[in-house]
């Protein structure tokens, strides 16, 4: 199966190594790296290596891979030792939700106390 890649996509360039990133975890189909502008003590992005513009298109095309993203996020949380204290997983989907990079990714945020409520 061919892996979709978008030559103009920032995260595709991180996958190919054209743009450097601090990689913390990698599988054949996923990559986890530190966000360049962290919003919490731990802020990691977990992405499929294949290019899908958002989580919805990823889940529609490869639901099993969408699940792997969640497993990898949980693994990264364990690596960071924040699994017990708790963490947030966020999929911004669409510009109106604050998505700025249109390659599917889940934010793993942790290492601090989060208050109730989402916005
Ligand atoms: P979004 O707003 O699309 O949900 O999240 C995109 C995230 O990518 C942002 O949190 C932003 O800080 C991060 N980001 C943007 N450019 C780079 C980059 O070149 N390297 C890394 N590691 N993260 C980036
Ligand atoms: Zn991409």
- How far apart CA 90 and CA 80 sit, in angstroms, is 17
pTM greater than the 0.95 cutoff:
yes
Which residue lies with its CA nearest to atom 24 of ligand 1? 36
Which residue lies with its CA nearest to atom 20 of ligand 1? 36
Q: Active-site residue numbers?
A: 105
The CATH code for residues 10-98 is 3.30.428.10
Helix (H, G, I), strand (E, B) or coil at 110: strand
- Domains of the chain: which residue ranges? 10-98
Tokens of 87: 């963490």
* Pocket residues: Cβ below 6 A from ligand 1: 10, 19, 21, 33-37, 45, 92, 98-101
- Which secondary-structure segment (H or E) carries 46? strand 42-48
Residues facing residue 108 across a β-bridge:
44, 89
* pLDDT, one tens digit for every residue, the chain (119 residues): 567 888 899 999 999 999 999 999 999 999 999 999 999 999 999 999 999 999 999 999 999 999 999 999 999 999 999 999 999 999 999 999 999 999 999 999 999 999 999 98
């Amino acid at each position: 199966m061919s892996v979709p890649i978008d030559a103009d996509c920032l995260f595709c360039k991180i996958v190919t190594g054209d743009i450097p990133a601090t990689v913390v975890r990698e599988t054949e189909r996923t990559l986890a790296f530190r966000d360049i502008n962290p919003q919490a003590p731990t802020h990691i992005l977990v992405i499929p290596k294949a290019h899908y513009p958002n989580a919805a298109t990823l889940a529609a095309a490869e639901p099993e891979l969408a699940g792997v993203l969640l497993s990898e996020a949980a693994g990264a949380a364990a690596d960071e030792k924040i699994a017990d204290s708790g963490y947030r997983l966020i999929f911004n989907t669409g510009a109106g939700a604050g998505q700025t990079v249109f390659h599917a990714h889940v934010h793993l945020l942790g290492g601090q106390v989060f208050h109730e409520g989402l916005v």
